[in-house]
Amino acid sequence: MSDSTPSVTLLTRDGCGLCAVALEQLRPICADFGIEVAIVDVDEAAATDPALRAEYGDRLPVVLLNGREHSYFDVDEARLRADLSR
């Protein structure tokens, strides 16, 4: 891994069942790499970043790795672990 710590963000919204499942999948993966999952509710963020909800709001949950889309709907565990290992 590089000197900089990677960031994993889950884009979600209140009441999203798939989002809850994705978070439960992400927590142990990220824990293995010593990082916390950041959670961003796109509806709450819309007040300051409406583009976020416009871009991702219809296909949640979305996993961002270092601010870039990594996967959506499902957590691609094997790919995420491989990318976090780099």
User: Domain of 36: which CATH number?
Assistant: 3.40.30.10
Domain residues for 50? 8-85
Number of domains present in the structure of the chain: 1
Give per-residue pLDDT as tens, 21-68.
999 999 999 999 999 999 999 999 999 999 999 999 999 999 999 999
Q: Is residue 40 in some structural domain?
A: yes
Q: Is residue 3 in some structural domain?
A: no
> What contacts 13, CB < 8 A, 6 or more positions away?
19, 41, 42, 43, 57, 60
pLDDT of residue 2: 46
Rounded to an integer, what distance in angstroms lies between the CA atom of residue 72 and that of residue 11? 9
Q: Is residue 12 in some structural domain?
A: yes
Q: Is residue 45 in some structural domain?
A: yes
Rounded to an integer, what distance in angstroms lies between the CA atom of residue 13 and that of residue 8? 16
Q: Is residue 2 in some structural domain?
A: no
Confidence of residue 3 (pLDDT cuts 50, 70, 90): low
Q: pTM score, two decimals?
A: 0.92
Q: Is residue 55 in some structural domain?
A: yes
76: pLDDT strictly greater than 60: yes
Confidence of residue 77 (pLDDT cuts 50, 70, 90): very high
Q: Is residue 1 in some structural domain?
A: no
pLDDT of residue 4: 84
Query: Strand 8-12 relative to strand 68-72: parallel, antiparallel, unpaired?
Result: unpaired
- Alpha-carbon dihedral sign for residues 47, 71, 84, 86: negative
